[in-house]
Structure 1
Amino acid sequence: MTMTESNSSEQAAEFPCPKVEPQKEHEWLHKLLGEWMSEMECSMGPDQPPMKSTGTESVRSLGGLWTIGEGTGDAPDGTPVASIMTLGYDPQKQKFVGTFVASVMTHLWSYEGTLDESGKVLTLNTEGPSFTGDGSMARYQDIIEFISDDHRILRSRTPGEDGNWTEFMTAHYRRRQRQAA
């Protein structure tokens, strides 16, 4: 046995990986699994018409503990956009956690959130670049609401100057029906 192999074995014995069982919150995330079509409407600012676009999302499981959603669509200027959203549940924090990245931005969005009592609405809190463009950071929420097993809505919002939440994006996701073989 080489010195490297010996050290690896000793380290594995010192730091064993405990077996992790999915919680009911992980099972809730499994409702996201599958192929989805999306229709999005985004506010482009005061006195401007909303931008509408369509896209797709493919959501898979990672070990039963995480979901990975890979989305495609178009930016307001027609540029193709790809995105990845990861979601999981951290039993120690008792919070849903995750990240979001997109091909048209450099910020890594980190999520932490909770499920409402109805079990239909997951509110994810995050922080990112302010829409003011002054380099400051702002608070945001992405809210996932299940209307049915095959229809969910993603809403994005940020606090306005008055402190009340202002919704700036709504996307309807509808499960793509499997075609008969």
Structure 2
Amino acid sequence: METTKTQQPSTMKTQPQKEHNWLQKLVGEWTYEIEVKMESDLPVEKATGTESVRSLGGLWILAEGQGEMPGCGAATTMMTLGYDPQQQRYVGTWIGSMMTYLWVYDGGELDAAQRVLTLDSEGPVMTGAGKMARYKDAIEFKSDDLRVLTSHVLGDDGQWHQFMTANYWRKK
């Protein structure tokens, strides 16, 4: 007796959707300048570097950065971003050679104008107090060749505090 397998739609072959296409704007070679101000009584720290962003199947982007990180010296970073149609939100990760924590972006959405992608995460507080905090990163396209990343942390006062700004310029 011969058995036949039922044909089911494959989840392994997914076509990019408009949300995936938005991520492709990040693909390219970039230079960046970061400004960090962790505490109000500390001076602003600056650093520079480069970032190479490539597409993975039109569904994900992989962004590898090389340069300086304020307070850390030379660093390599890797960000992954994609869109999960089942959860209807952007997802991803961020790691850096200066720390052992895996940052997970577990909720992200575009604004109505489709210029700003806001990503939510949770991670250790930067002061080393051993506590966890909520973070919010926003990637805003000012033009096709200029994007700005701002990072915020939810403070003990219940307010979001911006602590980092990174300007990225597309290499010509």
Which TM-score applies when normalising by structure 1? 0.86
Q: What CA deviation, in whole Å up to 9, does each residue of 1:55-102 have, x standing for no partner?
A: 100000001100000001113346210000000000000000000000
Q: What CA deviation, in whole Å up to 9, does each residue of 1:136-157 have, x standing for no partner?
A: 2110011000000000000000
> In structure 2, how many angstroms separate the alpha carbons of the residues matched to 1:28 and 1:78?
32
One-letter amino acid of the structure 1 residue matched with residue 61 of structure 2: T
Q: What SS does structure 2 have at the residue aligned with 1:64?
A: coil
Structure 1 ranges of 4+ moved more than 4 A: 13-18
Corresponding residue number in structure 2 for 1:8: none
Q: What CA deviation, in whole Å up to 9, does each residue of 1:4-62 have, x standing for no partner?
A: xxxxxxxxx99955421100000000000000010110014222110011110000000
1:129 and 2:100 aligned:
no
Please identify the structure whose Cα radius of gyration is greater. Answer: 1
Q: What SS does structure 2 have at the residue aligned with 1:73?
A: strand
Higher helix share: 1
Q: Structure 1: state its 5+ residue gaps.
A: 1-12
1:64 and 2:43 aligned:
no
Corresponding residue number in structure 2 for 1:158: 153
Corresponding residue number in structure 1 for 2:21: 27
> In structure 2, how many angstroms separate the alpha carbons of the residues matched to 1:96 and 1:17?
18
Corresponding residue number in structure 2 for 1:176: 171
1:46 and 2:40 aligned:
yes
In structure 2, the CA distance between the partners of 1:83 and 1:89, relative to structure 1 (3 Å rule), is same
> In structure 2, how many angstroms separate the alpha carbons of the residues matched to 1:98 and 1:78?
23
> In structure 2, how many angstroms separate the alpha carbons of the residues matched to 1:104 and 1:166?
23
In structure 2, the CA distance between the partners of 1:21 and 1:82, relative to structure 1 (3 Å rule), is same
- Comparing 163-172 with 45-54, which one deviates more in the overlay? 45-54
Q: Structure 2: state its 5+ residue gaps.
A: 1-6
RMSD: 2.0
In structure 2, the CA distance between the partners of 1:77 and 1:116, relative to structure 1 (3 Å rule), is closer
- Comparing 130-139 with 81-90, which one deviates more in the overlay? 130-139
The aligned length equals 167
Identity %: 55
In structure 2, the CA distance between the partners of 1:17 and 1:95, relative to structure 1 (3 Å rule), is closer
Q: Is the CA contact (8 Å cut-off) linking 2:72 and 2:98 kept in structure 1?
A: no
